[in-house]
Structures are given as structure tokens and as C-alpha cells.
Structure 1
Amino acid sequence: MTRKLPKGIAGFPVAPFNEKGELDEKALEKNIQFLLDEGLESIFIACGSAEFQSLDKKEYETMIDVAVSTVKGKVPIYTGVGGNIKTALELAKVSEYKGVDGYLILPPYLIEGEQEGIYTYLRTIIESTSLNAIVYQRDNAVLQLPTLQKLIELPQLVGLKDGVGNIDLNIELTQVIGERLEWLNGMPMAEVTMPAYVPLGFNSYSSAISNYIPHISRMFYEALLNNDKKMVHDLYTDVILPINNIRKQRKGYAVSLIKAGMEIVGLPVGSTVRPPVISVEREHYEQLKNILKTTFEKYPKSNKKVLI
């Protein structure tokens, strides 16, 4: 089969909830369309930014349906699967039935396993369908080189997304395995660490801020690839590090701060989140609002469709 792989900046839509806490399909469609209009190279639906842990099966299926109908084959679509092995296998089958390109395998629920156990968990999911599979390395699912070398025998495995930040391990994995896999940076606010990842062969990353300031994501990545050190420095100083400092203030802001940013720029997703994630506190919301106001003034977006 032809395998459409993620390249460049990967979009991770949120799960917009209305005031009753129900999934808002229209808002999700606008979120996805916005990412497409801004030129993001792939869509990862129903993953961490979409509060994967809080979605029921019907909502999960609905999010995929909205993504497929909105994307219309323009870019690859990947879903999130994971948790306990039965649930992961069920969601993998759902993803295959819905006709997406692949899935991102999230860590198993809670328990830490030996390498053989992690290998079996991942292999079982990867072999369950013909879809592309990307392993998300983080928390209790960190692969050592011998484990990944066994997994790459499976043709469905096309990539590894790193959310750990162990540079020694990343060097070993990328230099031994090389172009057999696509390498994605999945660290929290990946722009912060991307300069350390690009030289190792990481050609893609998930950008949380692309949900509300995608032109900054693009400016930053192009500056990084073109070795424009001044632009990289300026974007770090004016935008990326200030937002990252807010994100680190509370657990769960990795999700809720995205929704706050989208609300500030006028995207109709609302700020409702599901427990245990908490909404952004007013003080931090105002701080983000001021950063975004300054961002649009200093780094204007041509023909921007959303306004502060």
C-alpha cells in the first residue's frame, strides 16, 4: 500500500466542547480547516491535545468522521490509539474502518513494563491492521535500541515520535536506524527543543501553538532550517519562551492553554475541558492575551482570518 507519512509541522486539533460538555462538531471542523488553510502537513485527530483519555468511543468516531470529511485526502490523517491493549486494538480497527492513513500509538495505561512487554504491546497493535503506525515514546513506554530494531521488521511501522528528550538515546536510535523511520519531535511545546532535534534527522514536529498562531510555527521552522539565528532568537524571546513559561505554571495547561489561545484569536472552540484537565486561570489567560497581541503586532500575518 502507498504510505502517506507526516512531514513538516503536524497539526493536533483539540476536542471542542460546548457549555454542556458535549463535542462541538462545527467547531472541530473549523479547527481542522484552519490548520489546512495554514498549510500544516498532517492532521493528528483524537490524540493528546484532543483529551484522548476523556473521549468515549462515539466521540472518537465522530472526530475521525469530521477530520476525514474536512481533509478530503489533502494531507495524511493519523488517529490516537492506546491505553489498555483491548481498547487500543478496538480503536485501531475503528481507524482502519474509517479509512485514515495511520495511528499514533500512545503508551499503555499506567503500568510500566519490561522492554519485552512494551514490544509485545506495540507489536500486537501494529500487526492488528495494515495502517501506518507511529510509536509515541514517552512516560512508561520508552524504547531501547534492540526493541526498536525488532519492531522495524514490521512494515506498518513508519515513525517514532519522541516525548522524552533523552538526547543520548535519540542519537543512538536515529544514527543506527536512520531513514527507515520518520522521526517526529513530540516534546511539550516542541519548538523549544527543535534546534536539538533537527540535526539528528527529526523532520517533523507537533506544534501546539499552530492551533492559534500557525504563522509563527511556520516562521520559526523555516528560520531554523535556513539557519536564520536572529529570527529563531527573536521568536524565542518574543513568543515561544513566554508562552512556554505560562504553560509550565499548571499541570494540564498543555491542553487548556491551546484552547485559551484559540479563544483569544477568535476561533470558536470554547475553553471547556474535561477533568482532570483544568481551565486556564484568569491571570495566565491575560498574560497569554498580551503575548498574542504583541505577537500579531510584531509578526503580522498576511490576510489573517482571525483577529485579537
Structure 2
Amino acid sequence: MSEMRKAPTGILGFPVAPYTSSGAIDESALHRNITYLLDEGLEAIFIACGSGEFQALSVSEYELMLDIAKDATGNRVPLYTGVGGNLATALEQAKLSEKKGVDGYLILPPYLIEGEQKGLHDYIRMLLETTDLNAIVYQRDNAILSPDTLQSLLRYEQLVGLKDGVGNMEANLILTQYVGDRIGWLNGMPMAEVTMPAYIPLGFHSYSSAISNYIPHISRRFYDALLAGRTNEVNAIYKDVILPINEIRKQRKGYAVSLIKAGMEIVGLPINSSVRPPIVPVEKEHYNQLETILEKAHELYPPVNPITK
């Protein structure tokens, strides 16, 4: 792939959709969320995706989030948007993304329908043919591609990556062997740090880090230790931080989003922990557990640039 046609690598930032007390998008909080991720060295920003409550945004809110992200990133790193759901909406979002001058988009699953492979192929094909932007397919839920389907889409140079949110390692092995380095491979599992050691040998060089929204220095330390083979350090971070947070995340559906906001609020970022239905906020018991974990994490792994509350 050329440099222009290349998926981002490294730790990828997925900002949230922060809300004001009246329920509107909190523009200053979102800008701070993004600049914080960039200041901490994350390699790309993906706006209005899963962590950004993609499914709950109006058209005007979606556009507002893109404008804020475009301003905050200032072309310092690749900027991708989320597109998906019903085909008409996805096509509108892709066109708007191109109009805003972003680098690419993440193709989220189609809405509700369980499509055959031909249907998934045509859904992705129509998006790829709509703009010249880079595109990454997010494989999860009702959008799981066979090797033949993925191979048939590779004639579009816009397709630069596949993000896996399924976790079927046999299928991932087959896909990566089948396709090789024609596209980039991204780990998109919930709490991707948990599974990253299994993905790296298959050629996955990127992952979306939920915890980077509030403890990015630990995300970086973990990933650097993993790549360098510092097994003792990796295991310590697992035991002290990653696995305890993951246990909380698994307690309720939707915590993959709401737990991020709770963590951001706890560390002192200008955001409240409100979310939009059907996602539920973090329960007080779990909030307190996360607070205890983060206090310990900051004692054991102090950040170079601590947040001033």
C-alpha cells in the first residue's frame, strides 16, 4: 500500500460523545478529549464511532462532532469517521466525511439485518464507490466477512484495513494468511489490550484502546512492553489495571461505552458520565470499584503529564 492508502497503526483513539446537562453535545469537552489523546501520542482519531455513541447521534450532532474533531486534530494524525447502519444513512455519512476532508471512515455493521455474503459485499462496495476516502471494515455482529468476500473487495484501493471485533482467532488466521499485507489489520475487541498478545503474531499492528481515554499512559506502557517482550511488565499491568477494569466492563451491557465516561470523570477530565439510552450509566458500586482501581494505577504507574483537576 502507498502511504496515502494505508491504515493507521499503533494505539487508536476513539473519543466519546460528551453531553451537557441539557443533553446537547458538549463541544469543549469533546475538543479536550481529542487534544488529550493527541498530547498523549495516540496515532489516529476515530470520531463518532462506537465509543462516540454513533447509534444515538442526530445528523447535526454527527456533523458537529466531525467539525470539532477536524479542528482539534489539525491534520496532525489521520482522522476517521464512523459510517454504518441503514445504507442510505451510511452513504450520506460517507459523503459528508469526504466533504469535511477527513482521511477515511470505519464501516460499521448494517442495521439489524443478517445479510448473506453477497449482501455484505454489496453494502461495502456501494460505500467504497461513493467516495475516494480510505475505508476500514469493522467486522462484528452481523457483518462477518468470508475470505472470498474480503478478497473480492480488494480491487478497491480505498479499502485499507479490517478491524476485527469478533475474536475468532482461527478465522483471523485464515483471513490474514489469505490476504496478507494488502490491508492493515486492527484489533477492535472490547478492552483490546486483553487480547492484543494473541493478535500481534497474526499481523495486527493497531488496536482501539477504550482505556486510553482516561489512562493513555498505561495503554502506551502496556503496548510498548508487549512489543518489546517485557513479559513481567505486561503481566503486572494486566494484574493491576487491565483485567480488573475488564471485570467491571463485563458486568453490564453498554459498559464498553459508559465505563469510559466514568473513567474520564474520575481522573478529572471535563466530562460527566451521562449516556443515551439504550446504554445505561455505570452503577455506583461499579463506579467506586473503578475509582479504586484508577487510584492504585496512578500510584503504581504515575503519568508523566497528570491531569489537573
Q: TM-score range by the shorter chain?
A: over 0.9
Pairing 1:135-174 to 2, within 5 Å after superposition: 135-174=137-176
User: Partner of 1:237 in structure 2?
Assistant: 239
Q: Is 2:140–2:164's contact at 8 Å kept on the other side of the alignment?
A: yes
Compute the TM-score of the two structures, normalised by the length of structure 1.
0.98
Judged with a 3 Å threshold, the aligned counterparts in structure 2 of structure 1 residues 188 and 99 are, in CA distance, closer, same or farther, namely same
2 CA distance for matches of 1:111 and 1:4? 30
User: Partner of 2:203 in structure 1?
Assistant: 201
Q: Is 2:86–2:110's contact at 8 Å kept on the other side of the alignment?
A: yes
CA shift for structure 1 position 303: 2.8
CA deviation string 1:164-188 (max 9, x = no partner): 0011110011112111001000001
User: Partner of 1:81 in structure 2?
Assistant: 83
1 CA distance for matches of 2:21 and 2:256? 21
SS in 1 for 2:207: strand
Q: Is 1:4–1:76's contact at 8 Å kept on the other side of the alignment?
A: no
- When the two structures are aligned, how many residues end up with a matched partner? 307
Task: Name segments (4+ residues, structure 1) moved above 3 Å.
Answer: none
2 CA distance for matches of 1:175 and 1:223? 26
SS in 1 for 2:82: strand
User: Partner of 1:105 in structure 2?
Assistant: 107
Q: Is 1:209–1:217's contact at 8 Å kept on the other side of the alignment?
A: yes
Q: Is 1:5–1:76's contact at 8 Å kept on the other side of the alignment?
A: no
Instruction: Give ranges in structure 2 of 5+ residues lacking alignment.
Output: none
Q: Is 1:4–1:101's contact at 8 Å kept on the other side of the alignment?
A: no
CA deviation string 1:69-110 (max 9, x = no partner): 111110000000000000000000000000000000000001
User: Partner of 1:64 in structure 2?
Assistant: 66
Pairing 1:1-308 to 2, within 5 Å after superposition: 2-3=4-5, 5-306=7-308
2 CA distance for matches of 1:205 and 1:171? 17
2 CA distance for matches of 1:63 and 1:131? 18
CA shift for structure 1 position 269: 1.5
The one-letter amino acid paired with 1:267 is: L
1 CA distance for matches of 2:201 and 2:9? 16
The one-letter amino acid paired with 2:98 is: E
CA shift for structure 1 position 306: 4.1
The one-letter amino acid paired with 1:105 is: I
Compute the TM-score of the two structures, normalised by the length of structure 2.
0.98
SS in 2 for 1:141: coil
SS in 2 for 1:49: coil
CA shift for structure 1 position 126: 1.1
CA shift for structure 1 position 301: 1.0
